[in-house]
Structure 1
């Protein structure tokens, strides 16, 4: 059981992670002058940063400020791992990318931005995911790792890889208007599994695409993560070891939860458990869409099949109103997933009544962006559907629609 207390955090006694590198060139002294005058930091601290090697997991909302600030601070070598491409919806918070980068791989976009900031920075890019196959080697090759992942499986993989390799890990999360930061140093305090022992189910918390996130929150949390890395590298201050920093942007309040190692927690000995979680997360992921994959056993129909149904089907759009402003299937009826969750079949019956000729149709097709939310809706409604009514989820959602068919009931997709 995790022990939570209100006692002051003791001095960690951590030595600096990185030995000082070579003397700074005159250009570097000018560049980092504001660091050099800091008490307890000075030339030696800057030389430690220049000699440091840091792995950043994710070049998204948290990775953007982390990468920018570590590069600007003078960290000598940065490795970026991410398998995603830049989308327009990323630009609201992922400040390392620009409009011109939409469609480009995030690691390539981020590396270009960092080299604009510091042409001498060593940047290594990995266009892929952190996985049980590469995690241990990557962690062992770096002085410190910062985890800005957006899924539980990767966060626990990072924790377990850190524990197995003895690599310090800075961890951060964001959701809607709140964020959290903690630092895990194997052998010097508790780890993530001491605070949250079990890997949550992949769909237990909505992701940012479904739940939303305040863009500027990423800067607050990401900057705190970068600060932790600098403290560890240079051996200054007191890192968030045994402390979870919590920030509520709406209330404008910070709070700290103190926790200690769980003596009954089994030590991490391999990546077997987390490998299974990563496999589930990978199979459930829908590339870049922000939706999860469809649930097992859900009845689906592809876009071509929906076209063949023609006027025999009522099409219900379970997305949010703002998503319909981007694209919608003409003739579809809006029924947000939250209404289905709250009111079940009653909400569907009301929506069908609003569809032209809906009362006489026995085919009901639900769709969302990529098929995940509509699959959830079908799962929720199947048992309550009246006899003779067939409920199906549109496979691939509206993302799959324009690529397979251009018209539905005589109207072009817009």
Structure 2
């Protein structure tokens, strides 16, 4: 490294865990970032600041005024511009020592393999399930580590997939929800600082993995609640419990069925016994619910023994995501038949 690089990265080079060797690893690394939106903006900023040698950013969307409250790379003058290109312009100004490659289009089945193949690691900050599954499957096929993040209203998730034999995205979420059951920021909203918090954690995971220090979130799913700063880490369990201390491997998904409101109403009409548990936060339950008992996902592990036994246990949340995590917790201790219902399915 030359004097300019030594001066720019001095504050992280002096970290014992980093040193010159770690900075050289960052300099030689190439990272592809999927999405230059809420998560992509802080993520790209910190990766660029850290001195990653080459960063690719792919996004086919344009900057809209409703993006500006959370997508901090963009200015009012960027409205209407492609996000990948606008982000690359800003990042080049922040650190001209980093090579930024903009892909001003969406990732799809035709271009994904070719683009991902050119990078050491992939970071997924996309906002839709088809892209997430496409990115995951390509990373599995190409043996690329995938850092994943997502946000919804006040909640964020981060994990590291396909890392050194660890589980992939499908181990955590085997199947995508139906298209009409998927919420988005335009319909549900998102707190402005949340993507900054989650994107920073994602960038931290990238730097740790590239440099080889710390413990990455491989085989674990971090869930952050910005309302009360509750942060929990769920284990993505290995198939064989005896391998607990070994490198995580893909898991067998806990068995459950997804049902809609109509099916639940039919059970009520036939007086079929079931227990409905809403695993959202109390404020969400108070604003809108379809009945049942409210036990937050974050409290479920501690309260599971107090839940009365029923032959059918129905778990409810907004989109189904929290319910799927609840299935993993409950199935370890209970033997009821498990069902998932999302509030969004009321329109189906």
TM more than 0.5: yes
Structure 1 segment 350-389 matched on structure 2, within 5 A: none
Contact 1:56 1:67 (8 Å CA) reproduced = yes
Query: Alignment length, in residue pairs?
Result: 250
Which residue of structure 2 aligns with residue 212 of structure 1? 189
Runs of 4+ in 1 over 4 A off after TM superposition: 261-266
Which residue of structure 2 aligns with residue 42 of structure 1? 19
Which residue of structure 2 aligns with residue 200 of structure 1? 177
Which residue of structure 1 aligns with residue 343 of structure 2? none
Query: How far is 1:217 from its partner?
Result: 0.2
Which residue of structure 2 aligns with residue 270 of structure 1? none
Structure 1 segment 310-325 matched on structure 2, within 5 A: none
Which residue of structure 2 aligns with residue 146 of structure 1? 123
1:152-198: per-residue Cα shift (whole Å, max 9, x none)?
A: 11011111111000000000000000000000135421111111111
The separation in 2 between residues aligned to 1:380 and 1:36, in whole angstroms, is 54
Contact 2:32 2:57 (8 Å CA) reproduced = yes
1:267-306: per-residue Cα shift (whole Å, max 9, x none)?
A: xxxxxxxxxxxxxxxxxxxxxxxxxxxxxxxxxxxxxxxx
Query: How far is 1:40 from its partner?
Result: 2.0
Q: Which of these two proteins has the greater Rg computed from alpha carbons?
A: 1
2:102 to 125, 128, 140: 125
The separation in 2 between residues aligned to 1:69 and 1:85, in whole angstroms, is 22
Structure 1 segment 159-238 matched on structure 2, within 5 A: 159-238=136-215
The separation in 1 between residues aligned to 2:196 and 2:215, in whole angstroms, is 21
Structure 1: gaps of 5 or more residues? 1-23, 267-340, 343-378, 382-414
**2:39 counterpart of 1:67:** no
**2:78 counterpart of 1:87:** no
- For the aligned residues, what is the CA RMSD? 2.2
Query: How far is 1:41 from its partner?
Result: 1.0
Structure 1 segment 297-316 matched on structure 2, within 5 A: none
Contact 2:59 2:84 (8 Å CA) reproduced = yes
The separation in 2 between residues aligned to 1:380 and 1:205, in whole angstroms, is 12
**2:29 counterpart of 1:28:** no
Contact 1:194 1:260 (8 Å CA) reproduced = no
1:360-393: per-residue Cα shift (whole Å, max 9, x none)?
A: xxxxxxxxxxxxxxxxxxx969xxxxxxxxxxxx
TM-score normalised by structure 1 residue count: 0.58
Contact 1:194 1:261 (8 Å CA) reproduced = no
The separation in 2 between residues aligned to 1:243 and 1:76, in whole angstroms, is 28
Structure 1 segment 391-410 matched on structure 2, within 5 A: none
The separation in 1 between residues aligned to 2:206 and 2:176, in whole angstroms, is 25
Structure 2: gaps of 5 or more residues? 240-249, 254-288, 291-345
1:65-121: per-residue Cα shift (whole Å, max 9, x none)?
A: 010000000011111100000000000100011111011111111011101101222
1:219-249: per-residue Cα shift (whole Å, max 9, x none)?
A: 1000000011111111111100011000000
The separation in 1 between residues aligned to 2:188 and 2:148, in whole angstroms, is 20
Which residue of structure 2 aligns with residue 239 of structure 1? 216
Contact 2:43 2:202 (8 Å CA) reproduced = yes
Query: How far is 1:129 from its partner?
Result: 1.0
Contact 2:51 2:97 (8 Å CA) reproduced = no
